[in-house]
Amino acid sequence: MEDFLQSLARQDLVTPLARLVLILLTLALTLVAQRLARVLTVRLVKVLVHFGSRIGRYEAEFAADLNHKLARPVEIIVVMIGLRVALVFIELGSSLVLLANRVTISVVTLAIFWAILQITNVITQYYVTRSIRETSALDETIVRFGRQVAIVLIFVFALTLLLGQWGQDVGALIAGLGIASLAVALAAQDALANVIAYFAILADAPFKVGDFIIVEDLVKGRVQSISFRSTRVRTLDYSVMAIPNQTIANANVINWARVRKRRLDMLVGLTYSTTAEQMEQVIADIRDMLNEHDDVTTDRIVVDFIEYGESSLNLRLSFLMRAYSWEDLEAHKTDINLRLMRIFDQNGVSVAFPTRTLHIASGGFPGEPPAGHDTAASDISE
């Protein structure tokens, strides 16, 4: 095709004005082809999504997102081809023609890999959204890991093709990188340790994106993302903390998403003015309340009067609650505490607070002036 255009451009009948007309005509056809390519992309994506997958009710959303992501790469490919055709009608030297060919092929190559990257992002986002909305066979963390690996492969292949297009020896470059990688690995041991810890987290799967975790005394929050270097956790104050993977791999992690029952141990102190009958009734009411509570399992409920404390009569409550998240547990604690307050009010008892009563003997403290001594008058006279 290019040979035909060049032969046409070399004909004597093609005057400078005719060349200009051909260039303008080529640019106009490029604009038309750009719009046509956009329409064809929409149709092609719709057909492929409908017949080549099992997306179901997410088909329209998936196709719309994919069309939006592919529109710009397709337009760039069409425009670059049109510009290259327009350059045929301009008399260029061999070096400029070679440069134009390399630039065109390089930009088209980048646009193609950009389109592949966009397809990867759309597919990843689809499975992530599906795993959030409903139970999915693919774990969200595995999907994100596959996306990261795909990005690395796309980058490597694109860079290899581009270097080859510009006459660079890819084999020599890879050999040089092999020697340099040893020095980089020695200088970046922490980064390498984080990458290894990343694969350890994926293999062991102590948590996944969206889980509420507690990492010792370091952080408490919901996992936002897991990357090669760090794990990002959104804390209770909605700030995001990036923790190196090596730190998490070596720490004790509590995953609230895998906790279905949580034991609550509570110590409640009543005042010493509480009678034995009131104590018996309070214990009975608390047991009935826990047995009737929808989120308390009835197999292990303990409510006992355990000791005479320093300033209170102490009750120990121990029971299991159904809590699927840390927020659920906090809400259950609030509900249990409010019910306890109502039981105490109904039985006329009060919660004790630390108090100390001092009894002073009639003889007074050592060194105290005897009774009847006028301290004020003595101080004034001095």
Per-residue pLDDT for 227 more than 50? yes
Handedness of CA 362, 363, 367, 368 (dihedral sign): positive
Contact 223, 213 (CB under 8 A): yes
Question: How does pLDDT run across 17-45, given as a tens digit for each residue?
Answer: 777 777 778 778 878 887 887 777 777 76
Contacts of residue 35, Cβ cutoff 8 Å, sequence gap at least 6: none
Instruction: Tell which residue, 319, 336, 330, has the closest CA to residue 220.
Output: 330
H helical segments located in the chain: 2-10, 16-51, 59-88, 94-133, 140-165, 170-187, 189-204, 245-249, 276-292, 326-346, 375-381
pLDDT at site 326: 76
Strands 230-235 and 219-226: antiparallel
pLDDT band for position 381 (cuts 50, 70, 90)? very low
Q: Is residue 13 over pLDDT 50?
A: no
Cα 154 from Cα 224, distance rounded (Å):
25
pLDDT at 158: 83
From first CA to last CA, the distance across the chain in angstroms is 123
* Residue whose pair of structure tokens reads 């303008």 in the numeric block: 24
Give the chain's domains with CATH numbers. Answer: 2-173 (no CATH), 190-257 (2.30.30.60), 260-346 (3.30.70.100)
- Widest pairwise Cα distance in the chain: 138
CA distance 107 to 83: 12
Give the percent of the chain with pLDDT over 70.
74
> How open is the CA angle 177-168-90, to the nearest 5 degrees?
150
The DSSP symbol for 56 reads G
Q: What does the pLDDT average to over 79-101?
A: 77
**Shortest CA distance to 330 belongs to which of 209, 207, 212, 210?**
212
CB contact at 8 A, 269 and 313: yes
Distance in angstroms (rounded) separating the CA atoms of residues 103 and 87: 12
Q: Is the pLDDT of residue 61 over 80?
A: no
Using CA atoms, how far residue 233 sits from 165, 193, 239, 242, 257, in Å, is 43, 20, 8, 6, 14
Please determine, for residue 1, whether its predicted confidence score (pLDDT) is greater than 60. Answer: no
Task: State yes or no: pLDDT of 137 exceeds 50.
Answer: no
The CA–CA distances, whole Å, from 110 to 130, 199, 222, 260 equal: 30, 30, 37, 49
Q: Sorting pLDDT into bands at 50, 70 and 90, what band is 9?
A: low
Please state whether the predicted TM-score (pTM) of the whole model is above 0.95: no
Tell me the average pLDDT across 238-263.
86
The length of the chain is 382
Burial class (CB in 10 A: 0-12, 13-18, 19+), 42: middle
Bigger pLDDT: 334 or 130? 334
CA distance 64 to 164: 35
CA dist 73 and 80 (Å) reads 11
